Structure 1
Amino acid sequence: MASEPLSQKEIEDRLRELPGWCFEDDRILRTYRLGGHRAAAALVVHISVVQDELNHHSDLTLGYDTVRLSVNSHDAGGRVTEKDFALAERVAALAPAHGAH
């Protein structure tokens, strides 16, 4: 069953609860800065575990000391759904333990 896309207002309301996240090109996005490459790589590994648990995967970009996530739902025609926010909330909760800001 396909996920239902959220309205622009629903997206804006949900983003107020996720500091640092934004909406752009039908995706929610966040870039985290970390203390170095190993810390950034460790965050990517931790995010990949969560994504597998949720069976919902973002585009992840690993930089030297940054991790960028970009997510929407393919089964909703590339629009943002509740699944995207569930993933974003889990990542927002685990990122500080990696020193991410």
Structure 2
Amino acid sequence: MVTAAELIQKKGRHLEQGLSDAEISQYLAAVEGWTLQDGKIVRSFDFKNYYETLAFVNAIAWVIHADDHHPELTVTYNRVVARFDTHSVNGGKGGISENDFIAAAKVDAIYRQR
């Protein structure tokens, strides 16, 4: 079974193959707090104020951009909801890939540092 620590050490790469439902379940176990919703992995992050919220968004933008795997973000005063999926898998139909979990683990690591 993969761990969050192992995922953090990986770099995202171009993938054309999505994960199976069983593989998604295994990866979800490695990234606590993330759930599968509408074909994306999703997690909500809470903050004390807007400054902390935006600082988090800026921090994850820098890290995630390096792997070229960008989330869909909903940003409010004290909350960020991040959603990941991979548009290039399954013949361009989209789905969940290992890249989504690599990015989720890195976002979690940033959140824990606040």
The answer, yes or no, to whether TM exceeds 0.5 is yes
Aligned to 1:72: 85
Return the match for 1:81 from 97, 106, 109.
97
Matched, 1:97 2:113: yes
Identical-pair percentage: 29
Matched, 1:4 2:17: yes
Q: Gaps (5+ residues) in structure 2?
A: 1-13
CA distance in 2, matches of 1:42, 1:4: 33
Q: Gaps (5+ residues) in structure 1?
A: none
- Contact in 1 for aligned 2:15/2:97 (Cα 8 Å): no
- Describe the SS at the equivalent of 2:88: helix
Kindly state the Cα deviation for residue 27 of structure 1 after the two structures are TM-superposed: 0.4
- Describe the SS at the equivalent of 1:16: helix
TM-score by length of 1: 0.91
TM-score by length of 2: 0.81
Deviation >4 Å, runs of 4+:
none
